[in-house]
Amino acid sequence: MSQTKIMITGATGLLGRALFSELNSRFNVIGTGFNRAEGNIIKLDLHDQDAVANSLIEHKPQVVIHAAAERNPDICSNKPEQAIALNVAASKFLAEQCEAIGAKLILISTDYVFDGQDAPYLENAAPNPLNLYGQSKQQAEQAVLAVAKTHSVIRVPVLYGDVTHLGESAVTTLAQQLSATAPSSHDNWAIRYPTHVADIAMSIRDLIQQQDKLGGIFHISGTQKMTKYQMACLMADALGYDSNLLEPLGQPNDGTPRPYNCALENKRLKAMGIHYERGFAKAIAEIIRAHINK
């Protein structure tokens, strides 16, 4: 086991849990969460600056993966001050405190920093977020990268994985909207690249093993291109439902504007030989069957 000490914020969340489980067997890992923190996950409120500074001094991690955020675009639009406080101000403070103890920060960011009109996006493409969530993450990126050259940003697209309940991710939520007998409508306009959190965790593991390469922006994304309607059809097949009951919607119907197609090109990580991607249809079938058959 490597002696590298890694702290993960948001270790109770969808991506953070996968990171904790993947990294824990190879590194010395400290997971932090907030409302759901229990057992081996430390409770750390990222708004409490004294607690954040003291926790870093106490644990002295070499790398901090910052996965905690408000990631729901509708909540961000409805509560902008709350979203900016967590996504921007807390990220900036954490970046400064990491620099003070010589730790490298990895900020998890999003494809929503782009407007979706000019895909695919390389790591150095110009962001132009369409909603407050994307704006808050872009501001966090700028703040973190301005603190230290060795701090990093990792942008990821819509995530799925081992959810605590189907409503936990934007992908598995679709399964809740399906019925064996009733029709349902799904967005067939926006192009997405659903990516399994365990694949992202393995890429981050490999990147940390080459710690001298940390710094600047990285993209991690799967390449399976699909709309929510297409994801829902695969889920209907997995559940044995009639996919003719699903209606494709040709126009966006979200309250908060969302980008059309933010395909992320993983140029830097691929050049390092790092890419993991499981088949979506099989992986999502296993996840939703486990919940629907409970």
Ligand X SMILES: NC(=O)c1ccc[n+]([C@@H]2O[C@H](COP(=O)([O-])OP(=O)(O)OC[C@H]3O[C@@H](n4cnc5c(N)ncnc54)[C@H](OP(=O)(O)O)[C@@H]3O)[C@@H](O)[C@H]2O)c1
Site for ligand X (CB under 6 A): how many residues? 29
Q: Which is nearer to ligand X, 34 or 241 (CB)?
A: 34
The H-or-E segment that residue 64 falls in is strand 63-66
**Which structure tokens are listed for 44?**
């750390």
**Which structure tokens are listed for 113?**
């920093």
The residue from 6, 7, 10, 264 that contacts ligand X (CB under 6 A) is: 10
Q: Which residue is nearest to ligand X (CB)?
A: 13
Smallest separation, CB 100 to ligand X (Å): 19
> Is residue 15 within the footprint of ligand X (CB under 6 A)?
yes
Q: Which is nearer to ligand X, 86 or 246 (CB)?
A: 86
* DSSP 8-class letter at 88: I
> Is residue 33 within the footprint of ligand X (CB under 6 A)?
yes
What's the chain's Rg over C-alpha atoms? Answer: 19
> Is residue 45 within the footprint of ligand X (CB under 6 A)?
yes
> Is residue 55 within the footprint of ligand X (CB under 6 A)?
no
> Is residue 181 within the footprint of ligand X (CB under 6 A)?
no
Residue identified by tokens 């996950």 is 41
* Subset of 98-137 contacting ligand X (CB under 6 A): 108, 110, 137
Q: How big is the CA angle at 2 (ends 99 and 17), to the nearest 5 degrees?
A: 75
Q: Which residues contact 103 (CB under 8 A, 6 or more apart)?
A: 7, 56, 60, 61, 62, 63, 64
Smallest separation, CB 7 to ligand X (Å): 12
Smallest separation, CB 13 to ligand X (Å): 2
Rounded to an integer, what distance in angstroms lies between the CA atom of residue 85 and that of residue 70? 10
Smallest separation, CB 157 to ligand X (Å): 6
Q: Burial of 191 by CB count in 10 Å (0-12 exposed, 13-18 middle, 19+ buried)?
A: middle
Q: Is 288 helix (H, G, I), strand (E, B) or coil?
A: helix
Q: Which is nearer to ligand X, 33 or 129 (CB)?
A: 33
Smallest separation, CB 8 to ligand X (Å): 9
Residue positions counted in the chain = 294
Q: According to DSSP H, which parts of the chain are helical?
A: 14-23, 49-59, 73-78, 80-84, 90-101, 132-147, 173-176, 197-209, 228-239, 267-271, 280-292
Binding map of ligand X across residues 77-96, x = CB under 6 A, - = no contact = ---------x----------
Respond yes or no on whether the N-terminal peptide bond of residue 259 is cis (omega within 30° of 0). no
Q: Interface with ligand X by CB under 6 A: which range of 21-29, 34-42, 75-83, 252-260?
A: 34-42
Cβ–Cβ under 8 Å, residues 233 and 288? no
The residue from 147, 153, 156, 284 that contacts ligand X (CB under 6 A) is: 156
Per DSSP, what are the bridge partners of residue 185? 247
Cβ neighbours, 10 Å, residue 92:
18
> Is residue 203 within the footprint of ligand X (CB under 6 A)?
no
Q: Interface with ligand X by CB under 6 A: which range of 8-16, 53-61, 239-247, 265-273?
A: 8-16
The residue from 37, 191, 214, 249 that contacts ligand X (CB under 6 A) is: 37
Smallest separation, CB 200 to ligand X (Å): 9
Q: Which is nearer to ligand X, 241 or 261 (CB)?
A: 261
- List of residues contacting ligand X (CB under 6 A): 9-10, 12-16, 33-37, 44-47, 67-69, 71, 86, 108, 110, 137, 156, 158-159, 169-170
